[in-house]
Structure 1
């Protein structure tokens, strides 16, 4: 296994050893790009003159379609690049070997030593010729249920790959398909959970917190936000405009929360529930900084909406701090990972009061005490809150 690179393929280290390593010794490696880079180095040691290789996989992340893993001779690790959803509309993809594979080709092979005018015109071939590469091959990498990804190899060896090299690489593909599918599906599972329940909850679920009723008590700053008059907007605007308005609003509200260490737990129609655990340093201050940034983002969004003739969006935010039960709640077969408890109810009541008291952001006295004197807060007064016996002292934040 420690043979030097560029040895003859008849020596003890062979493609079979690379296959064995892929199937038996990569169990503890989570990241596909690291596996792919080391695989290429091991192929060189097995006598396969690979000098460039790439793996193109589709993940279906909310923001990007997939990833490209690129390795070249001399690199200790492969390089991972995200691929946007609009890639298939770009000329560099339309005019590429990868598109040929996705269109159904079983193999794309190009002799890079011959006159370029005699071969295909893909731009990537010119790039490889400029780097001294002589031969290129691309194959589909088959995952279950007909999913097709793409793997490519190139060499600078005079004469290109010979038949034994190609046979060795083909021998490798089934093992690479199995290993890559496991990592792709692991990443997909994480992506789906992070997308629909948040990063912290997803880690807990993947660690085994899937039993109904399981959970923990968390001391947290809690924020609930809701749009005003959205029923009227949704009744009077086309569906696609309504969805676009909602997405813009949620972007404006959510991104500052995440930047400041918070977690979006739930979107409820046009409402949002978020927390920042007090285990985070300066959690309460961070939440108010996020609220200030969200308000600025909403001003910018409303200016943009006004320029396009769309309705301006008004909203209310309720903020409280307290203990919440954080865990699995629901039916036997359909669970929600969320927070419940009197502290959540209080934040919800404060958000409802923003309309009655003509304030955009209302804070409880408990939160105002917790955040300290860093922020300029307006004392609004004491008001009865539905579901709570005593009036609650409220503060407004105009950040």
Structure 2
């Protein structure tokens, strides 16, 4: 047996239990950061002197590109840091070993114990030398359709990783790729559903509520908001400016809604539909707090528009309460997870009445009677509502 054969055999034995654990012992763990931390701890117990490790994954979340999962000696859990879309222009990424792997390198190995002037020049190597680390290696992790991620390991062992240890770490890569891809795709599916249908609806879909007509009846406070004069704006403004305007408007409206426990179910052009389930304590009060926050955010947005010579944005909000059917509606091949029912229709009609009444926020008596606390609700009278036999008593809220 040659020396190479001996080294390969040693590498196959070393860490074999960790490979077995990754293969069959992680099926009940949902989160890759937990698996990664346990993997590193098990590597140490197997005699592989890992002192630092990181897993870099691209997830393509609407707000961030991916994440770095970092583990260091003594940590029971990994640390997760989000990576923004502009990372490619940052000095900490340009020329880094992770960027080299993303750009096609099959392996990056750096002897951190030698004279820094003789090695690669990057801040990450200086940081690791300062931590007393002696050797560093980075490899690509390949997922389906050529998607490329990155894993790194470092040690403070004198002389760095030996051949058997490097061989053992390499044996992990295919299994780590499979284990991480499953978890990342699960996270991506959850993220996409949260992004496009909302967190509660996303949970229901993941739990199997995908059949047309399936759903549940929910008692909820309903909020429908619409931007005023959008047709005129979209006809006269450049396309990119219109998109920026809508994004700024939706940021101002949506963030207070989600902050106070509401769920955005739909964007309809320049409008949105949100609900606050009455199963949540203080749902109606939370909705009004969200309206107040949105009003403040819109005032700040309009102040910025004024600096650029733009007219202020105006909006109308209709608020009602009632039972809604919450579930799958659509054709056999294309479904929408939303709410329907007379209560939704009433909220929509009330939003339209804000133009006639001249008040930006109108709510029904049914909603107003459920509100507790010091909210200034002003009765503005009874008004006929298209599609309903009886007029509705309306209240205004200035926030």
Band the TM-score falls in, shorter-chain normalisation: over 0.9
Q: Are 2:222 and 1:222 aligned?
A: yes
Q: Using the alignment, how far apart are the partners of 1:175 and 1:310 within structure 2?
A: 56
**1:228-257 deviation line (CA, Å, top 9, x unaligned):** 100100111111110010011111111111
User: Counterparts of 2:293 and 2:229 in 1: how far apart (Å)?
Assistant: 23
1:194 equivalent to 2:194? Answer yes
For residue 89 of structure 2, what is the aligned residue in structure 1?
89
Q: Is the 8 A contact 1:36 1:78 kept in 2?
A: yes
* Counterpart-to-counterpart distance in 2, 1:262 and 1:316: 18
Equivalent residue, structure 2, for 1:272: 272
Give yes or no for the alignment of 1:165 onto 2:165. yes
How much does 1:74 deviate? 1.2
Q: Distance in 2 between matches of 1:352 and 1:11?
A: 71
Hey, what does 1:6 align to over in structure 2?
none
**Which residue pairs with 1:146 in the alignment?**
146
Q: Does the aligned pair in 1 maintain the 2:11–2:167 contact within 8 Å? A: no
- Could you list the per-position Cα deviations for residues 184-231 of structure 1 after superposition, in whole angstroms to 9, with x for gaps in the alignment? 100000000000000000000000000000011111000000011001
Is the contact between residue 95 and residue 123 of structure 1 (CA under 8 Å) also seen in structure 2?
A: no
Distance 1:122 1:12 in 2: 33
* Structure 1 residue aligned with 2:345: 345
1:261 alignment partner, SS class: coil
TM-score when scaled to structure 1?
0.96
Distance verdict in 2 for CA 1:110–1:396, change over 3 Å: same
Return the offset for 1:374. Answer: 2.8
Task: Report how far residue 311 of structure 1 moved.
Answer: 3.2
How far residue 310 of structure 1 moved from its aligned partner, in angstroms, is 2.8
Q: 1:65 to 1:283 in 2, by over 3 A?
A: same
Going from structure 1 to structure 2, the CA distance change for 1:229 and 1:221 (only over 3 Å counts) comes to same
Deviation for aligned residue 1:293: 1.0
CA distance change for structure 1 residues 179 and 12 in 2, over 3 Å: closer, same or farther? closer
Q: For residues 245 and 12 of structure 1, what CA distance do their matches in structure 2 show? A: 58
Structure-1 separation of matches of 2:40 and 2:366: 58
Distance 1:54 1:219 in 2: 46
**Structure 1 gap ranges (5+):** 1-8
Residue in 2 aligned with 1:3?
none
What is the RMSD of the two structures over their aligned residues, measured on CA atoms?
Answer: 1.4
Quote the residue 2:63 is aligned against: 63
Q: What is the CA distance between 1:16 and its match in structure 2?
A: 1.4
1:13 Cα deviation from its structure 2 partner: 8.1
Question: Conserved in 2, the CA contact under 8 Å of 1:13 and 1:46?
Answer: no
1:398 aligns with 2:398: yes
User: Could you say what secondary structure the match of 2:371 adopts?
Assistant: helix
What are the superposed Cα offsets for residues 322-368 of structure 1, whole Å, 9 maximum, x if unpaired?
11000000000110000000000000000000001111001111111
Whole-angstrom distance in 1 between the partners of 2:90 and 2:309: 31
- State the match for 1:4 in structure 2: none
For residues 323 and 82 of structure 1, the distance between their equivalents in structure 2, rounded to whole angstroms, comes to 39
Residue 296 of structure 2: aligned partner: 296
1:52 and 1:244 mapped to 2: Cα distance?
42
CA distance in 2, matches of 1:218, 1:288: 19
Offset, 1:309:
2.4
TM-score, length-normalised on structure 2? 0.96
Q: 1:4-153 maps to which residues of 2 (within 5 A)?
A: 14-153=14-153
Unaligned runs of 5+ in 2: 1-8
Which runs of 4 or more aligned residues in structure 1 lie more than 3 Å from their structure 2 counterparts after TM superposition? 9-14
In the TM superposition, 1:177-326 aligns within 5 A as: 177-326=177-326
Query: How far 1:73 sits from its partner (Å)?
Result: 1.0
For 1:11 and 1:188, how far apart are their aligned partners in 2?
Answer: 34
Indicate conservation of the 8 Å contact 2:14/2:164, yes or no: no
